[in-house]
């Protein structure tokens, strides 16, 4: 019996049940309320849902007054997060959007009393569903037909949709990567025409969407369309990587592996424009270094000891894409499993033993000695046992540093 699946089903049922209670409370207080957007789409597709959004004609202040635990997460845009038990629900007032001057957010919003006004401002037909308390679907833009045809289609004029919010371009590719759908022809033509608007979007938002794309099962399909769309015109440093991947199918790349591949192929360091965290930058650089080092060489015990298995496995994944016969993943796992120690504190003879057995107090020398015996143990030249390590260390100290016991 798969208890993880049972737990997820129970959790989802509770999540939805509590969401219905929010909708019911809004209805009982004289407001309109509907489930909306991706939740309804994924429910129609039979996909597990992580977010439930609710739309209502109740103003944010009224929502805050109706529910005990709320947070004003986007009151300017009509959004209040309502907390029920351990679940969070975004409850947003019906609205229409004013002019967009930055290709991302409307300069102002106009709260509305009409559900239709709220739905028509959304990005794609498959995201413009609403569902009432009795589970009746409201579909004003033939979204169900597009679901059946596996199409991602902009609502209304696609040029207007992408000019308003250029991030919708990457959202289209994200839905390709999640659902395996195609992008409708006019929508795709508009994406190509408006691609340059992406350069006006905060890099953090671009990164967030790309991360989601590479976390989905049809990322290869999305990358092929990214290539066809001319995405590289906005981000030329990614061109060689995307061009390399366009004809490859069935791969699964972590987003850090994707960026490492792109920067490796373009033979450049990470551009400052890309707002990676320090940890992400370090991982990307280490992947590139390992891919370069192991082009004609193999992984060894010291590399795996120093780095662990995760980053070398990421690098091996990239290397295998670059050259099919250079797959060292199993070697990495074999080495990792056979390591006699995983960290310095696993040594049976430590720095504290040196302090107790000798008069040596130079921390730098002690560090060098510990590195030496670590190397001896990792490479199998010495067993990780107290007596042999003690003997080797005392001989080393006397021979190299003139330190007597």
Do residue 325 and residue 349 come from a single domain? Answer: no
β-bridge mates for residue 97, sequence order: 109
CA atoms of 205 and 300, how far apart (whole Å): 38
- Number of structural domains, the chain? 3
Dihedral sign computed on CA atoms, order 365, 367, 370, 374? negative
CA atoms of 294 and 310, how far apart (whole Å): 16
Do residue 73 and residue 139 come from a single domain? Answer: yes
> Is position 23 within any domain?
yes
**Mean per-residue pLDDT, 229-240:** 94
Q: What is the pLDDT of residue 74?
A: 87
**Mean per-residue pLDDT, 362-386:** 95
Higher per-residue confidence, 125 vs 107: 125
Dihedral sign computed on CA atoms, order 91, 96, 100, 103? positive
Do residue 383 and residue 325 come from a single domain? Answer: no
CA atoms of 204 and 216, how far apart (whole Å): 19
Residue 299: is it exposed, middle or buried by C-beta count within 10 angstroms (0-12/13-18/19+)? buried
Give the 3-state secondary structure of residue 305: helix
- Residue 297: domain span: 278-338
Please check the confidence at residue 301 and state whether its pLDDT lies above 60. yes
> Is position 182 within any domain?
no
CA atoms of 23 and 17, how far apart (whole Å): 10
Query: At which of 300, 320, 338 does a domain end?
Result: 338
> Is position 253 within any domain?
no
**Beta strand 87-93 pairing with 130-131:** unpaired
Please check the confidence at residue 1 and state whether its pLDDT lies above 80. no
| Prediction pTM value | 0.88
pLDDT digits (tens, 9 = 90+) for 165-207: 999 999 999 999 999 999 999 999 999 999 999 998 999 999 9
Query: At which of 289, 319, 338 does a domain end?
Result: 338
Do residue 328 and residue 352 come from a single domain? Answer: no
**Contact between residue 312 and residue 305 where contact means Cβ atoms under 8 Å apart:** no
Do residue 293 and residue 365 come from a single domain? Answer: no
CA distances from 166 to 104, 125, 159, 206, 287 (A): 6, 17, 10, 10, 31
Instruction: Give me the percent of the chain exceeding a pLDDT of 90.
Output: 85
Query: At which of 98, 122, 149 does a domain end?
Result: 149
> Is position 224 within any domain?
no
How far out from the chain centre does Cα 159 lie? Answer: 28
Quickly list DSSP for 249-268.
Answer: -S----HHHHHHHHHHHTT-
Q: How many CB atoms sit inside 10 A of residue 70's CB?
A: 17
CA atoms of 95 and 113, how far apart (whole Å): 8
Instruction: Give me the percent of the chain exceeding a pLDDT of 70.
Output: 95
Do residue 349 and residue 334 come from a single domain? Answer: no
> Is position 29 within any domain?
yes
Ranked by mean pLDDT, the top range of 96-100, 198-202, 299-303 is 299-303
CA atoms of 209 and 211, how far apart (whole Å): 5
Confidence band for 236, pLDDT divided at 50, 70 and 90 = very high
CA atoms of 278 and 299, how far apart (whole Å): 25
CA atoms of 104 and 199, how far apart (whole Å): 11
Do residue 49 and residue 104 come from a single domain? Answer: yes
pLDDT digits (tens, 9 = 90+) for 376-393: 999 999 999 999 999 999
The enclosing H or E element of 395 equals helix 386-401
**Beta strand 87-93 pairing with 53-56:** parallel
> Is position 94 within any domain?
yes
Please check the confidence at residue 43 and state whether its pLDDT lies above 90. yes
CA atoms of 123 and 126, how far apart (whole Å): 9
Higher per-residue confidence, 16 vs 108: 16
Q: What is the DSSP letter of 128?
A: -
**Mean per-residue pLDDT, 125-130:** 97
Q: What is the pLDDT of residue 4?
A: 45
Do residue 326 and residue 360 come from a single domain? Answer: no
Q: What is the pLDDT of residue 120?
A: 93
CATH assignment of the domain containing 24:
3.30.460.10
> Is position 355 within any domain?
yes
13 Cβ partners below 8 Å, 6+ apart? none
Do residue 16 and residue 125 come from a single domain? Answer: yes
Q: How many CB atoms sit inside 10 A of residue 113's CB?
A: 11
- Reduce the secondary structure of 80-95 to three states and give it as a string: EEEEECCEEEEEEECE
> Is position 47 within any domain?
yes
Do residue 358 and residue 291 come from a single domain? Answer: no
Do residue 303 and residue 393 come from a single domain? Answer: no
Do residue 287 and residue 381 come from a single domain? Answer: no
């Amino acid at each position: 019996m798969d208890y993880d699946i049972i737990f997820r089903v129970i959790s989802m049922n509770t999540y939805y049940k509590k969401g219905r209670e929010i909708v019911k409370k809004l209805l009982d207080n004289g407001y309109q309320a509907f489930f909306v957007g991706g939740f309804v789409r994924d429910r129609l597709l039979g996909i597990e849902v992580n977010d439930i959004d609710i739309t209502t004609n109740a103003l944010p202040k009224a929502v805050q007054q109706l529910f005990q635990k709320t947070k004003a997460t986007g009151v300017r845009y009509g959004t209040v997060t309502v907390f029920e038990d351990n679940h969070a629900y975004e409850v947003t007032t019906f609205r229409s959007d004013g002019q967009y001057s930055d290709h991302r957010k409307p300069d102002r919003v106009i709260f509305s009393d009409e559900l239709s006004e709220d739905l028509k401002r959304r990005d794609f037909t498959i995201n413009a569903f609403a569902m009432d308390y009795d589970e009746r679907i409201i579909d004003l833009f033939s979204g169900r037909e597009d679901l059946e045809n596996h199409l991602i289609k902009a609502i209304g004029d696609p040029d207007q949709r992408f000019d308003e919010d250029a991030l919708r371009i990457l959202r289209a590719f994200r839905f390709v990567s999640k659902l395996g759908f195609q992008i409708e022809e006019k929508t795709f033509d508009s994406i190509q025409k408006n691609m340059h608007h992406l350069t006006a979007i905060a890099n953090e938002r671009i990164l967030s969407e790309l991360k989601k794309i590479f976390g989905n099962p049809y990322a290869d399909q999305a990358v092929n369309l990214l290539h066809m769309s001319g995405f590289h015109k906005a981000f030329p440093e990614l061109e060689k990587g995307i061009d390399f991947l366009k004809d490859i199918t069935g791969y699964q790349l972590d987003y850090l592996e994707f960026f490492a591949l792109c920067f490796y192929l373009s033979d450049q360091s990470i551009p400052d424009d890309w707002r990676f965290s320090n940890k992400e930058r370090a991982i990307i650089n280490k992947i590139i270094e390992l891919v370069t080092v192991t082009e004609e060489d193999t992984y060894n015990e010291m590399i795996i000891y120093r780095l662990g298995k995760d980053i070398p496995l990421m690098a091996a994944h990239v290397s295998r894409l670059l050259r099919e016969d250079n797959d060292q993943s199993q070697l990495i796992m074999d080495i990792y499993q056979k390591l006699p120690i995983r960290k310095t504190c696993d040594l049976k003879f430590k720095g504290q033993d040196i302090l107790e057995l000798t008069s040596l107090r130079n921390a730098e020398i002690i560090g060098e000695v510990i590195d030496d015996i670590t190397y001896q143990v990792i490479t199998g030249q010495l067993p990780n046992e107290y007596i042999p390590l003690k003997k080797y260390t005392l001989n080393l100290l006397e021979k190299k540093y003139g330190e007597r016991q």
